[in-house]
Amino acid sequence: MSGYILAIDQGTTSTRAIVFDASFRVVGVAQEEFGQILPQSGWVEHDPEEIWRTVLATVKRALADASLSAADIAGLGITNQRETTIIWERGTGRPIHNAIVWQDRRTAERCRQLVRDGAEATVMDKTGLVIDSYFSGTKIAWILDNVDGARARAEEGKLAFGTVDTFLLWRLTGGRTHLTDATNAARTMLFDTAANAWDEELLRLVDVPAALLPDIRDCAADFGETDPALFGGAIRICGMAGDQHAAVLGNACFRPGMMKSTYGTGCFAVLNTGTERVRSGNRLLSTLAYRLDGQSTYALEGSIFIAGAAVQWLRDGLKIVQRASDTGLMAERVDDRQDVYLVPAFTGLGAPWWDADARGAIFGLTRDTGPDDFARAALEAVCYQTADLLHAMRRDWPAASDTVLRVDGGMVASDWTMQRLADLLDAPVDRPTVLETTALGAAWLAGRHCGVWPDMDGFAERWNLDRRFEPSMRQDLRNRKLAGWEDAVRRVLSDRS
């Protein structure tokens, strides 16, 4: 059987399709951005049909780029932006509303009401999650309550819910398959991670009919095959994981204590805790890292809503940079005595703050402040937020005290940013040779399940380091910068005194 594996990496701002060969090398790739719909402050939507069009287009182009056909592909893995919520008609496959994106805050008041009603302990105990509009559950309920007739149709079994993976799987298989994997299910606020099942009490709590929900599989499993008409032949679908979980796998973080952080639209740091479900005392998430062969591996996760999106804002909103890649050179020109802080709470603050009402701010402006300072502040904001997460993880799980951080995502190509990250963390940062680790993780799931790629040990042995960034910043400078960041965050928190 061919060792070629196709991965669909459906992200928040773009869709990529990547073909890997048996040596994990990229031999074909295509990427396409799609629109962000912002109906009002704090609301973020996507057009599911536009997402679907980008998937079709990028898969076809990636196959052409690799000079391969569907018959050459041993298996397909899917990875996706998590928590983004889509509901569609079972009969037609048509979405009944735009996708509500993970960043969206429209259900923040509903979440506050759940907390006031005393539901937080139940949700945390069963799901490992805090109650927040970030997760899918309250998004599902909002669509049902705001689209005419939707709740009645859902209760009659005429509608289907899915995160993006499930929607794509439905479309790819011609409506024959309504499935998700355990990692995506774990991000809905409806899934008991200990019982490995949808939970009736949580469904009642959030007011979501069970008839909407997909069945759940391991991350490596038989998910069906693509409609032959789509790509000129059927392709077996046998891997699926949410993007951050796929990045854990792509970075070969298989051992407890290993940690990865992905820098895309947002930033997500995940620490493997093995078979132990660590209950966070610092408002981190206790989630699934992955589930293979019926065995769950758990993790602590810290979620940052805005990372690369801050650089996008500089480019598209303020128009003070022409290309995102320019920001590293701009940041390098700034004197370290200049302390400009950007707190990018454009859609609230994630872990460890979980403040849906916080909003972004810039501090430390002077007459000398210019575009270079803004660029550095945007990049440093990602590093400061990662430091917040790492410090919280170390408090929750002391075994993480000597962790080396493995990184991936678009931002890690910047040497300046990675060096500043190591400096502010006071910890080594490892950048792999293959930066497309999210897609690689999805591909590994498919390749493993198809029997054409190696198991965990074999895959981990072939993980290659591009560069290690060692901390070199003076301790007094690090302390000053971190203190300034903490002060800036306190100023934007909605519940500050």
Show me where the domains of the chain are located. Answer: 3-242, 251-496
Tokens of 59: 């898969």
Q: Max alpha carbon distance in the chain (Å)?
A: 64
pLDDT-derived band at 497 (thresholds 50, 70, 90) equals: very low
Residue 484: phi, psi to the nearest 5?
A: -65, -40
Q: Is 312 annotated as a binding residue?
A: yes
Task: Provide the sign of the torsion angle of the four alpha carbons 48, 270, 447, 275, taken in this order.
Answer: negative
The strand pair at 259-263 and 237-242 is best described as: unpaired
Q: Is 23 annotated as a binding residue?
A: no
Q: What is the mean pLDDT of the chain?
A: 92
Give dist(CA 196, CA 373) in Å, integer: 47
Give dist(CA 258, CA 361) in Å, integer: 33
Q: Is 409 annotated as a binding residue?
A: no
Per-residue pLDDT tens for 311-342?
889 998 889 888 888 888 888 898 877 899 99
CATH number of 251-496: 3.30.420.40
The HSE-up count of residue 10 (CA atoms within 13 Å, CB side) is: 31
- The identity of residue 446, as a single letter, is A
One fold for both 3-242 and 251-496? yes
Listed residue (216, 287, 273) closest to 245, CA to CA:
287
Q: Is 177 annotated as a binding residue?
A: no
Whether pLDDT at 496 is above 80: no
- Annotate 129-155 with DSSP letters as a single string: ----TTSHHHHHHHHHHHSTTHHHHHH
Contact yes or no for 198/185 (Cβ under 8 A): yes
Give dist(CA 380, CA 339) in Å, integer: 10
Q: Kindly give, in sequence order, each residue whose CB lies less than 8 Å from that of residue 398, ignoring residues fewer than 6 positions away.
A: none
* pLDDT at residue 9, as a whole number: 96
* pLDDT at residue 91, as a whole number: 94
3-state secondary structure of 271: strand
Give dist(CA 5, CA 21) in Å, integer: 7
Q: Classify 170 in phi/psi space as left (phi over 0), alpha (psi -120 to 50) or beta.
A: alpha
Give dist(CA 294, CA 178) in Å, integer: 19
Give dist(CA 428, CA 405) in Å, integer: 6
Task: Provide the sign of the torsion angle of the four alpha carbons 81, 86, 90, 91, taken in this order.
Answer: negative
pLDDT-derived band at 401 (thresholds 50, 70, 90) equals: low
- Annotate 281-332 with DSSP letters as a single string: SSS-EEEEEEEETTEEEEEEEEEES-SHHHHHIIIIII---S-GGGHHHHHH
State if pTM tops 0.85.
Answer: yes
CATH class name, domain 3-242: alpha beta
Q: Is 410 annotated as a binding residue?
A: yes
Q: Is 243 annotated as a binding residue?
A: yes
Lowest mean pLDDT among 214-223, 281-290, 385-394, 400-409: 400-409
Lowest mean pLDDT among 20-29, 114-123, 204-213, 353-362: 353-362
Q: Is 13 annotated as a binding residue?
A: yes
Q: Is 83 annotated as a binding residue?
A: yes
Q: Is 12 annotated as a binding residue?
A: yes
- The identity of residue 209, as a single letter, is P
Give dist(CA 168, CA 160) in Å, integer: 12
